[in-house]
Amino acid sequence: MLAQFVLEDDVRLVAVRGGLGAVPGIRLAGVHSGIKARKRDLALIAFDEPQVCAAAVTTNEIKAAPVLVSAEHLAASGDAMRALVCNSGCANACTGERGDRDARATARQAAALLDILPAQVVVASTGVIGVPLPMDRLQRGLERCAAQLENGGKSSHDAAEAIMTTDRVPKLSAYSFYHGGKKHVVGGIAKGSGMIAPNMATMLAFIATDVPMSRDALQAELLACVDESFNMISVDGDMSTNDATYAFAPAGADAPPPAFGRALRQVCLDLAQAMVADGEGATKTLTMHVTGARDAEQARAVARAVINSNLVKTALFGEDPNWGRMIAAAGAARVGLDPDTWSLLLNGKIWVERGAIEALSEAEAHRELELHEIVVELQLGVGDARATAWGCDLSRDYVRINASYRT
């Protein structure tokens, strides 16, 4: 996943270790506070200087208390944010007035510990809906977080672990690049392996950089990258009440250099693809390219429809070369598919031509599907727009994991 070098339009990005912790001026901690039985469940991120903050949050109409409280804080002081608190194991969603009070109390405590204002704190939660936060444990844990804050990869890894729910591995990504003779970094951590669907900020991701810019510029860059990464992945088509992406940067001049946008995009792609690879019960990933589309919207809609189909996902799990399910899912998107012009490629080989002619035998296609990372290209044959979406298979383990999430 982590390309060591990405060279694009003369911008050289270098993958660096440490994720969010690779960004100068940031300190992190992740501890076990007791919200969960055994694992780390509370992360604190603190910035040495005030940051502009951009956000892309869930479009679900039922929003968790921390999402709403953070929106308030960003409205009040989004040009000068200083910290982020995130717990796992409890979503603090559908928790009524108590949920609102608890989210505010968490921000107040973090502010007191860091000697900043409560409105300078972003709060986030992830876990089971409808259960109140165990505030006594969270508060003791937050004190320990504040005492352990430090820069670098170890604390970044701890924080990435502390925001995990059903994730099997922590998700970190960071890239450096040179601009104006100075080295800069964009880094992030993320969680998400179930309740991941297209068309929203689909999980938690926290990203930072040391490149100064305006809040509006950061917001525009973030939305553009989210649209190509987190909004193009699917594990199960479910949308969460809590999901949010927050990006932080030092306040500065209007426009960041182009290299920043490239690095941010690569961090978002890395984190998004890591989520899909770690999809609940996933044994395979599907990279779904849609090319030759009338426009980008058509390409995006078709790519997302295919990765969202349960029948495509189960066929993938079974290594069953059932291309008909992909086409049925594409047609069900109802964005103007021409039944006679499409062709399908599997791992770069022509699979089906012009709507009907099977070019790979069932045995050949089956062998291709035995790979761990499957790449399918659906050429619509009507234009030159394209889009890519990423998904995973639907396995018996997805059902096992989700049939008893609480226990």
- For a copy of itself, the binding residues (CB under 8 A) are 59-63, 91, 93-99, 128-130, 194-195, 197, 236-241, 308-311, 314-315, 317-318, 320, 322-325, 327-334, 336-337, 339, 352, 354-358, 362, 394-396, 398-400, 402-407
- Cα–Cα distance between 295 and 305 in angstroms, integer? 16
Closest CA to 92 of 244, 246, 241, 245: 241
- Cα–Cα distance between 321 and 310 in angstroms, integer? 15
- Cα–Cα distance between 221 and 227 in angstroms, integer? 10
Q: How far is the CB of 255 from a copy of itself (least distance, A)?
A: 33
Cα→Cα distances 407→36, 192, 203, Å = 11, 19, 22
- Cα–Cα distance between 258 and 82 in angstroms, integer? 26
Helical pair 215-228 and 258-277, crossing angle rounded to 10 deg = 40
**Number of other residues whose CB lies within 10 A of the CB of residue 358:** 15
- Cα–Cα distance between 45 and 33 in angstroms, integer? 16
Q: Which is nearer to a copy of itself, 161 or 280 (CB)?
A: 280
Q: Which is nearer to a copy of itself, 7 or 128 (CB)?
A: 128
210's tokens: 């040391």
Q: How far is the CB of 186 from a copy of itself (least distance, A)?
A: 30
Q: Which is nearer to a copy of itself, 62 or 255 (CB)?
A: 62
Q: What type of residue is 369? A: L
Q: How far is the CB of 274 from a copy of itself (least distance, A)?
A: 21
Which residues are known catalytic residues?
Answer: 202
Q: How far is the CB of 47 from a copy of itself (least distance, A)?
A: 31
Q: Which is nearer to a copy of itself, 67 or 142 (CB)?
A: 67
Q: How far is the CB of 114 from a copy of itself (least distance, A)?
A: 30
Residue 264 and residue 225 in contact, taking contact as beta carbons nearer than 8 Å: yes
Q: Which is nearer to a copy of itself, 4 or 404 (CB)?
A: 404
Residue 310 gets the label, from left (phi > 0), alpha (psi -120 to 50) or beta, of alpha
In sequence order, what are the beta bridge partners of 46?
A: 27, 83
Q: Which is nearer to a copy of itself, 176 or 241 (CB)?
A: 241
Q: Which is nearer to a copy of itself, 161 or 236 (CB)?
A: 236
Q: If 0-12 CB within 10 Å is exposed, 13-18 middle and 19+ buried, where does residue 313 land?
A: buried
Torsion of CA 317, 322, 326, 327, to 10 degrees: -170
- Cα–Cα distance between 2 and 270 in angstroms, integer? 7
Q: Which is nearer to a copy of itself, 97 or 370 (CB)?
A: 97
Detail the DSSP E strand segments found in 163-284. Answer: 171-179, 182-191, 204-209, 233-234, 244-250
Give residue for tokens 């949308």: 239
Strands 204-209, 182-191: pairing kind: antiparallel
Give residue for tokens 């796992």: 88
Tell me if residue 123 falls in helix, strand or coil: strand
Q: How far is the CB of 63 from a copy of itself (least distance, A)?
A: 7
Q: How far is the CB of 246 from a copy of itself (least distance, A)?
A: 20
Q: How far is the CB of 352 from a copy of itself (least distance, A)?
A: 7
Residue 206 and residue 94 in contact, taking contact as beta carbons nearer than 8 Å: no
